[in-house]
Amino acid sequence: MFFWDTVVLYKLYIIGKNTFTETLRQPVYAVIIALAIFMYFTSPSIVMYSLDEDIKFLREIGLSTLFIAGLFIAIFSATGAVNEEIESKTITTVLSKPVSRPIFILGKFLGVAFAVILAHYILTIAMIMVNRHGVLEAATDLHDWPVIVAASVALLLTLLITAFLNYVYDWNFPATATILLTILATLALVFLALINKEWQFDPQNQTIKIFDVHASILLLLAIIILVSLAIMFSTRFNIVLTLTCCVAVFLLGLISDYVFSRFATQHIWAKIGQILVPNLQVFWVSDAIQEGAAVTSGYITIASTYAILYSAGILLISIALFQRRQVG
């Protein structure tokens, strides 16, 4: 029994690792991250004319960018991990190892999920940097030069080192850049946690808000749900239909309370919709931003339980759908 469990875990590890690596190698993965970072660095200039709501608007744009980027990374990564293997027939080689279909689906989900978590981590650091810099609301406001320098150094070093490794050793550019940026962005964040706006060592008064971290964790839970949905749709649909279905569920999930919950006690269709469609409003903290409220650890625990149970249910459906899928 122990040997069987070890073999299953090893197969899960191999499939998940290969999926993670292949996802990082996809150019679209790096492009989405780059576009999101560009959006972050331009957002202070975009919101500086919103009068007294600059900081709140900046935080909402940051969380929206994080959410949308996670959605598209989940869709394209899941489609590349499952649908492309089916269409190219390479899946027949994998399933003949032998690897059971449930193990294949779970391994693909874990690989895509970890790739999404990595991208989410990078973009969360970018969001925290932008929120620390803030908006120049008055002509007398000064730039937060430690943030600008730390971010610029991390990006430039990432590009230079990646270009060198790609040219000399033929390392994959998107995957190498992603890993390097993760390391350098982490070092930059640690530096900013210790240095204040005046270049002084002041860890006690650092301006990194715990609210941003909690909000990012909640959005990550929502994105994991979207990963499970993208895996499920990919077992049956191509990339266009998967994209359409995921975006539709994403939009319905954001307005689930308005569309389903208020009619759930009166109409059976609303009750069914409330159960089937994930309530993504649970993970969106826009109201807390407007009201200045905090996100408690208890709320995160409840949201985590909901995300885990919903994702597990979707994965069971994915396995059931994939069992009947012709792949040969």
What is the tens place of the pLDDT at every residue in 207-223?
678 888 999 999 999 99
- The backbone region for 3, taken as left when phi is positive above 0, alpha when psi lies in -120 to 50, beta otherwise, is alpha
Confidence (pLDDT) at 127: 94
SS3 content of the chain, % helix, strand, coil (to 5): 80, 0, 20
In Å, the largest CA–CA distance within the chain is 70
User: Between vectors from CA 307 to CA 302 and to CA 309, what angle results, nearest 5°?
Assistant: 95
Q: Of 167, 136, 130, 134, which Cα lies nearest the Cα of 150?
A: 130
Handedness of CA 223, 226, 230, 231 (dihedral sign): positive
**Residue with token string 């407007």:** 290
Q: What pTM was computed for the model?
A: 0.92
Q: How far is CA 141 from CA 45, 104, 137, 197, in A?
A: 13, 54, 7, 12
What does the domain layout of the chain look like in residue ranges? Answer: 2-140+220-323
Q: Does residue 138 sit in helix, strand or coil?
A: coil
202's enclosing H/E stretch is none
Which residues have a Cβ under 8 Å from the Cβ of 96 and sit 6 or more positions away?
A: none
Query: Which stretches of the chain drop beneath a pLDDT of 70?
Result: 1-4, 48-54, 88, 93-97, 136-141, 206-207, 287-293, 327-328
Burial 146-166 (b: 16+ CB within 10 A, else e): bbeebbeebbebbeeebeebe
Helical spans, DSSP H, in 143-281: 145-169, 173-194, 210-234, 239-254, 256-259, 268-276
Instruction: Tell me how far apart the alpha carbons of residues 144 and 300 are, in angstroms, rounded to a whole number.
Output: 31
Which residues have a Cβ under 8 Å from the Cβ of 8 and sit 6 or more positions away?
A: 103
Q: How far is CA 77 from CA 69, 81, 240, in A?
A: 12, 6, 13
Q: Does residue 41 sit in helix, strand or coil?
A: helix
DSSP assignment of 248-267 = HHHHHHHTHHHHTGGGTTT-
Decide if 323 contacts 232 (C-beta within 8 A).
no
Decide if 108 contacts 19 (C-beta within 8 A).
yes
Confidence (pLDDT) at 2: 44
Burial tier of 199 (Cβ tally within 10 Å: 0-12, 13-18, 19+): exposed
pLDDT digits (tens, 9 = 90+) for 91-140: 776 666 677 888 999 999 999 999 999 999 999 999 999 988 887 666 55
Tokens coding 150? 């730390």
Q: Of 233, 208, 244, 224, which Cα lies nearest the Cα of 312?
A: 224
